[in-house]
Amino acid sequence: MSEHPGSRELYDKIANWENCSIPFSKTFGWERWGLLGVLSDYVLNYTKGDIVEIGVCETSIFFTKLSEKYHRKVYHCDIQRSVIENCKTVEGYFSKQNIVFCGSSDNFFKQIKLTPIALGFIDGDHIYEQVKKDFDNLFPYVVKNGYIFLHDTYPPDDTWKIPTKCGTVFQLREELEKRDDIEIFTFLKSAWNVGLTMVRKKQ
């Protein structure tokens, strides 16, 4: 059978694979924050707006990389000064356009004037009441078809439902699943296998 010219043309176009620039750790792959890095890249590719991160840690590295790729501003908030100061000692952890706020998320939303937000990530306090406040404070700034990601939303068992682990964030997930103004999906694996919930603000 002779080679089909149309199929050859299609194959040559499709199989010219991209050397992907999505932030994806060679060390951890899909574990820890690989999924968040890929999804965040997708969001920022299609959505205008900046980034908010409540809770500074490994995810800050991904958001800094994405902010440089898409020329976005990142607002970081964490109540632990030592964490922020340690991260600042490492070049590349934050970029020059990043705004780093040390204090409670309540004070962050009171004191920082936010721009329109394409992507939010909430991984600070793990108690339902505070996470709900963070979500409600952030949601008005999120653009239509923008996203908020929540961590610790699917504890593996009851032993994880303590403040130092997943806490009661799952209660907010259950509440958000009943709303009509958003679309919501929870990934059980990656993100430390304790639930990463993706919330899209409907247009």
Rounded CA separation 33/82 (Å): 22
Structure-block tokens of residue 164: 């130092």
Pick the CATH number of 5-201 from 3.40.190.10, 3.30.720.200, 3.40.50.150, 3.40.640.10: 3.40.50.150
Q: Give Cα 74 distance to the centre of its chain.
A: 11
Check pLDDT > 90 for residue 42. yes
Structure tokens at 67: 């902010």
Mean pLDDT of the chain: 97
> Binning pLDDT at 50, 70 and 90, where does residue 175 land?
very high
Conformational region of residue 10, where left means phi above 0, alpha means psi within -120 to 50, and beta covers everything else = alpha
- The secondary structure element, H or E, covering residue 101 is strand 99-102
Q: What is the DSSP string of 45-93?
A: HH--SEEEEES-SHHHHHHHHHHHHHT--EEEEES-HHHHHHHHTSTTS
Length of the chain: 203
List the one residue out of 13, 65, 12 whose CA is nearest residue 34: 65
pLDDT in tens, 131-148: 999 999 999 999 999 999
In tens, the pLDDT along 43-62 reads: 999 999 999 999 999 999 99
The structure tokens listed for 36 are 């968040």
Q: At what angle do helices 128-138 and 169-176 cross, to 10 degrees?
A: 50
Indicate if the pLDDT at residue 97 is higher than 90: no
Pick from 75, 77, 35, 63: nearest CA to 195: 35
- What's the whole-model pTM score? 0.94
Under 8 Å between Cβ of 195 and 187: yes
Residue spans per domain, the chain? 5-201
Percentage with pLDDT > 70 across the chain? 100
Query: Residue 41 is encoded by which pair of tokens?
Result: 């890249």
Chain centre distance of CA 15: 30
